[in-house]
Amino acid sequence: MTKVYVGGFKHSLDEIELAKLFMPFGQVSTIKMVRDKKTRISKGCAFIEMVDQAAAEAATESLNGRQIGNRQLKVSIPEVAADKPAGVQGMSSIDSPAVKYVKIGRPGDPVKSKRPRRTF
């Protein structure tokens, strides 16, 4: 499966019309249209998964820059970050649950005394 980014199309374009654009190049597996959360209106971009890598590259070369109405399509194959394991993106080796944070005050700041705890 190869993921292809498509952007720049009109907001009224639906999944079927996008599939019709990509079907001549190869089999389309899934289409994920990016939509507004509240209104569910398309934001003009989508991610399409194609079964064959060669078909995805052919579609990218052919459709990138193509005029649809008065808008120009932007079609590309996004790069995959292979060095990061899935589910751990954004975490470095320093970030771990075992690390505890200690508040450090500025030099010269007064040290606040804690309230005494009540024991029963």
- Give the C-alpha separation, 57 to 29, whole Å: 15
pLDDT one-digit tens code per residue, 97-107: 566 767 777 88
What pLDDT sits at residue 48? 94
List the end-to-end C-alpha distance of the chain, in Å, as a whole number.
65
Q: Does domain 2-76 correspond to CATH entry 3.30.70.340?
A: no
Residue type at 66 in one-letter notation: R
pTM over 0.85: no
Q: Phi and psi at residue 42, in whole multiples of 5°? A: -60, 145
β-strands 67-68, 71-72 pairing: antiparallel
By C-alpha distance, which of 55, 56, 73 is closest to 64? 73
118 vs 55 pLDDT, higher one: 55
Residues facing 49 on adjacent strands: 3, 30
Structural domain spans, the chain: 2-76
Q: Average pLDDT of 77-91?
A: 60
Q: Average pLDDT of 80-109?
A: 61
Q: State percent of the chain over pLDDT 90.
A: 56
What pLDDT sits at residue 111? 76
Provide the mean pLDDT of the chain.
83
What pLDDT sits at residue 113? 77
84 vs 23 pLDDT, higher one: 23
- Whether the per-residue pLDDT at 59 is higher than 90: the answer is yes
pLDDT one-digit tens code per residue, 15-35: 999 999 999 999 999 999 999
Residue 41 Cα distances to 11, 31, 48, 83, angstroms: 7, 15, 18, 35
Question: 7, 44 in Cβ contact below 8 A?
Answer: yes
